Structure 1
Amino acid sequence: MERIFKSWSGLASHFIGECFDVAKPFIDERYSGLDPLIRFVAAQLYIDCHLSSESILLLIREQKEWDTDLVARSVMEGSLKFTYMLQGEPPDIGRKVDEYWNILPQFASIKHSERAVRFLQEVPDPDNPNWLPFKELILDEPMITAIRSKYSRQERQSLEESWSFTGICRAFAKSDNLGLKLFANLAHGYGMSSHLIHKDADGIGMVWDRFRRDPERQTAVKLGHSARVVSDVCTFAKLRLFSLLRACQQPTDSIGTIEQRYQELLFDELAKAGKQFTDIEYSLHGQPG
């Protein structure tokens, strides 16, 4: 299996790298086709998702498929936020970029401040120099009042909800775009990854169940699991590039051209691994138990 994982991770890395190369001119600071703030914020989120995607592929290469789900959840959420942000007419995009980059961080800064205050109240030596980073988070009351005076509690909650994973999926579900409607179905996978992140009984149980299976089923599910993650990494790379090109009013046919080059060696092989898992898990062995 080592050869397979190296092949998948290497090819997928090249695939998302080619997507990044197409995107690069449009996130470069010299690009003038977008409002400067929109371009800057889009660039930071695009780059961050790409770097995390590379981390996922390194984990796949090392056969750490469970840990990939933790980082993949972050890339999934970042990619959906990127798509949501760049969806619509320029005024709508500008408003959402301002919400994401300027307004929501202000709300978060109040929460960070409150946590820091509670922390310093509970530690035995609050003046210890080790706690200086916590003191830097504390806002003075006039600043907190100024932030809160701009928005009511209901407005703050509504804005935070609209930028949550569930809120974005809900917005996509109402879209006239069939592709965006389908992304609303990601809520199930996002919820399942929560069990792994929080190390609850369901999350630990999924890992435990994997190792109870016979060798044939273990191999099939390991390959199927990894193939799904690699496929998702590539899909979200395409989604980010498509959203960026569309916002820049550029043709998107380059995505299909890149994809075609990797169809036989990567995407067909990922699909085969998924089918093999289904055949072995359900057809030959019945329902998993």
Structure 2
Amino acid sequence: MVVTIQQLMQWKQQNRPIVALTAWDFLFAELLDKAGVDLILVGDSLAMVALGMETTLPLTMDAVIHHAQAVKRAVKKALLVVDLPFMSYQESPQQALQNAGRILKETGANGVKLEGGYPVMAETVERLVLAGIPVLGHLGLTPQSVHQVGYRQQGKTKEAGERILREALALQAAGAFAIVLEHIPAELAKEITAQLVIPTIGIGAGSFCDGQILVTADLLGFSNRQPPFVKLYANLQETIGQALQEYCREVREGKFPES
């Protein structure tokens, strides 16, 4: 079954949790798609996971398109969404339209994700949606604002929580099909989820969201910089490291190949 935006909306009404993860190449995209992940995000986190950058900020349009094209070749069922990189949409709605349109045309993705909310970003979302480009919003901890907000939990005060709620409502009114809520208090995520008719997808935002997303490298144990809200489902860095060391040892000892 191919996942659609309409299904995400139906699943919210049915209380069927949405499963989302990130991918940055063909191999991981194929694994995620076959495992039954509903939404695959080519996130700007690939800047750190795949390209070794310190933050998401240096990622370019060309780089994200390159990786998204590889991911798309593997995805058969999941809804595919691609992050708009830093400064590819903040300048103006027209800039966002051109770059979002380029992503859809060159990658075959189903939609784009951008960070931020009311009021400026809501205008941008509305412009994209009017042009037929589905938009996934992103509120709370927004990594492209790392120099401004850091990696701290957001929305902890009453005023900050009310602002995030207003932004979520503004993004919904602008036409966003869902919103990622990152690293905010669970009770705030619960309130936002209850007030929205579109799905919320949490990352470090508690169990009350309509779905969950993590950076795949984090849950598989590849990352050395795991956020506190990540559950480690495997330690593949250790497993793969041991396999590689064994290969090196057997070659040096003349045990591989056997003949």
Relative contact order: is structure 1 or structure 2 higher (C-alpha 8 Å, sep ≥ 6)?
1
More strand by share: 2
> Which interval holds the TM-score relative to the shorter structure?
under 0.3
Q: TM-score, normalised by structure 1?
A: 0.20
Q: TM-score, normalised by structure 2?
A: 0.22
